[in-house]
């Protein structure tokens, strides 16, 4: 009798030492779900970080361009022919002369702020040389309002972030109201 009881006890101990097949399958399924959830969370975090970095870079590019555009338009003193004439404006460009002698080019040379639709960029042309202020521009409009004091507005949208940026400047000096071209 003792031998049979000892054998039963040994069998029970052997069975209790490992996992059954159903326990192994259930564990693998649970680990699979946890892995999918962890992978999705990691991917979402990485994507969010990348999007935040792109938005920051786009905003910085736009802010630098807006600062230069404001500097240019603040010192506008006339149109492309001479300082006493009106600045020429269209939906995608502003042609003018500047009173600021610190800016490159002479004050008598026309300066053109323009949206290049093919290159998707905003350029500043001084003495025939075009300089890119910001690239990756989806759309851009330029306008003038002469209701009270003449003001010039530039609005653009960047492709990468889809963010809209705008600037309205009142030139420092007394100028003729801008003329549409």
Model pLDDT, residue 85: 72
**Band of the pLDDT at 124, cuts 50, 70, 90?**
very high
Q: Give tens-digit pLDDT for 57-103.
A: 888 999 999 999 998 888 888 777 665 677 888 889 988 888 777 77
Over 70: is that where the pLDDT of 5 sits? no
Helical H segments across the chain, by residue range: 2-16, 21-74
Model pLDDT, residue 139: 93
| Chain centroid, CA 162 distance in Å | 7
What is the reported pTM? 0.71
| Separation between Cα atoms, residue 178 and residue 89, nearest integer Å | 7
């Amino acid at each position: 009798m003792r031998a049979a009881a000892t054998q039963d006890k040994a069998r029970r101990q052997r069975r209790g030492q490992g996992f059954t097949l159903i326990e192994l399958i259930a564990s693998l399924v649970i680990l699979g779900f946890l892995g999918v959830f962890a992978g999705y969370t990691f991917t979402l975090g990485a994507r969010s970080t990348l999007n935040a970095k792109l938005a920051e870079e786009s905003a910085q590019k736009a802010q630098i361009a807006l600062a230069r555009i404001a500097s240019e338009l603040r010192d506008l003193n006339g149109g492309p022919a001479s300082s006493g004439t009106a600045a020429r404006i269209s939906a995608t460009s502003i042609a003018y002369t500047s009173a600021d002698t610190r800016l490159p080019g002479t004050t008598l040379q026309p300066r053109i702020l323009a949206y290049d639709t093919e290159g998707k960029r905003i350029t500043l042309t001084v003495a025939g040389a075009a300089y890119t202020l910001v690239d990756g521009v989806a759309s851009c409009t330029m306008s003038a309002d002469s209701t009270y004091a003449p003001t010039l507005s530039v609005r653009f949208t960047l492709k990468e972030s889809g963010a809209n940026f705008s600037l309205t400047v009142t030139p420092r000096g007394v100028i003729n109201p801008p003329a549409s071209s």
